[in-house]
Amino acid sequence: MPRETLQGTLDLLILKTLARGTAHGYGITCAILNASQNQLRVEEGSLYPALRRLESAGLIKAEWKASESNRRARYYELTRAGRKQLAQIEKEWRTHTAVIEDFLAFE
């Protein structure tokens, strides 16, 4: 998938990933990669600032916890506001894609 499309959907990808459970930054990259069958690769340069931005907006919250490798990692978790926002974005996304589908199907 081209990068430009990805940019606008980064928030959606992060929030959706976190809706499935808490994760640290690296974990989020891996989860997105897995869930998209290696189609979506989120770059660090986009991911970490985005996490910070979402955190400042109060959609996710962070906590330092011991990771699988027993090293301290910053775990992110969805907040109530984040859950609401995710539902909203998901709905918008579905409407958007449906409209585009219809448009493309129209001959």
Partner 1 sequence: MWRKLLNFFRPAKLEAEIREEIEFHRAQTAGFFGNTGLIADHMRDASTIAWLEICAQDIRYGFRQLSKSPVLLAVAVLSLALGIGANTAIFTLIHAIMLQMLPVRDPGSLLLLYSGVSDGVTSGDLIGDAISYPFYQYLQAHNSALSELCAFRQGNDDVTMHVAGESDTRVEYASVHLVSANYFDVLGVGAAAGRVLRNTDDTRSSPPVAVMSYRFWDNRFHRDPAIPGKTIVLNGTPFTVAGIAAAEFFGERIRTAPDFWVPLSSEPQMLKREPLLDDANAFWLNFLARLKPGITRRAAEAELTAELHGFYLAQAGPHPSADAIHKIERVQITLQPGGGGISGLRYLYSKPLRVLMAVVALVLLIACANIATLLLARASARRPEFLCRLALGAPRIRLLRQVLTESILLSLLGGFAGALFAWCCVKTLILLLHFDPVVRVRPDPAVLAFTLLLSILTGIVFGIIPAWKFSRLDLRPSNVGGNTWRRRFGSTQMLITFQIALSLCLVVSAALLGRSLLELERQNIGFERNRILLVRTDAELAGYQQPQLADLYRNLSDRLIQLPGVQSAALARFSPVSGYSSSGSIAIEGNLPPPGKILNGWFLQVGPRFFATLRIPLLAGRPIDARDTAASTPVALVNQTFVNQYLQHLNPLGQHIYHGSSARGTGAEIVGVVADSKFYDLREHAEPMVFYPMSQQPVSGFELILRTAADPNGIAAEVRSALHQMNARLPMLEQQTLNQQLEHSLRQDKMITTLSSIFGLLALLLASIGIYGTLAYSAAGRTSEIGIRMAVGAQRADVVLLVLRDLVLVLVAGLTLGLLVAAVGTTWLRSFLFGVKPLDSLALAASVLLIAAVALTAGYLPAQRAARIDPMRALRHD
- Minimum Å gap between C-beta 104 and partner 1 is 35
For residue 63, the cross-strand partners are: 75
Q: How far is residue 95's CA from residue 51's CA, in Å, rounded to a whole number?
A: 25
Pick between residue 9 and residue 79 the one whose CB is nearest to partner 1: 79
CB 31 within 8 A of CB 14: no
* 45 lies in the binding site for partner 1 (CB under 8 A): yes
* 71 lies in the binding site for partner 1 (CB under 8 A): yes
* Residues making up the chain, counted from first to last: 107
Which one of residues 56, 102, 103, 105 is an interface residue with partner 1 (CB under 8 A)?
Answer: 56
Which one of residues 8, 26, 91, 97 is an interface residue with partner 1 (CB under 8 A)?
Answer: 26
Q: Containing H/E element for 50?
A: helix 44-56
Q: For residue 79, which of 65, 58, 63, 50 has the smallest C-alpha distance?
A: 58
- Minimum Å gap between C-beta 56 and partner 1 is 5
* 41 lies in the binding site for partner 1 (CB under 8 A): no
CB 76 within 8 A of CB 21: no
Enumerate binding residues for partner 1 (CB under 8 A): 24-26, 43-45, 48-53, 55-56, 58, 67, 69, 71-74
